[in-house]
């Protein structure tokens, strides 16, 4: 059975600033903080925060993503009560 995923968005505001957030209503608060002219440049689907961040790090060329809280960050959105 496939794991439910959530869509994530990468917004570029300037050469040094970007925002990586959930798509849809779950990312509304983050998108409200974007500077005028911010551009949506990439999206991905992920089943957990850890998976989303790993894909983001790969896309940005930053190497492997690590976390100090793997037991929490690797829980699926479904396990955390997501839709």
Query: Who's near 19: CB < 8 A, 6+ residues apart?
Result: 10, 11, 13, 30, 31, 33, 34, 38
Query: Within a domain: residue 37?
Result: yes
In a structure prediction context, what are the per-residue pLDDT tens digits for the chain, which is 83 residues long?
Answer: 557 899 999 999 998 999 999 999 999 999 999 999 999 999 999 999 999 999 999 999 999 999 999 999 999 998 888 66
Query: Within a domain: residue 80?
Result: no
Work out the angle at residue 55's Cα, subtended by the Cα atoms of residues 25 and 82, and round it to the nearest 5 degrees: 35
Structural domain for 53, as ranges: 6-73
Domain count, the chain: 1
- Pairing of the two strands 18-22 and 39-46: unpaired
Query: Within a domain: residue 20?
Result: yes
**Model pTM score:** 0.89
Quote the pLDDT of residue 81: 83
Query: Within a domain: residue 59?
Result: yes
Query: Within a domain: residue 82?
Result: no
Which pair of tokens denotes residue 12?
A: 């570029």
């Amino acid at each position: 059975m496939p794991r439910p995923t959530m869509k994530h968005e990468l917004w570029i505001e300037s050469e040094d600033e970007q925002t990586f957030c959930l798509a849809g209503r779950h990312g509304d608060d983050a998108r409200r903080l974007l500077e005028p002219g911010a551009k949506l440049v990439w999206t991905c689907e992920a089943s957990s925060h850890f998976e989303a961040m790993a894909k983001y790090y790969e896309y940005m060329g930053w190497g492997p993503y690590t976390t100090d809280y793997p037991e929490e960050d690797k829980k699926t959105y479904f396990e955390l009560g997501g839709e």
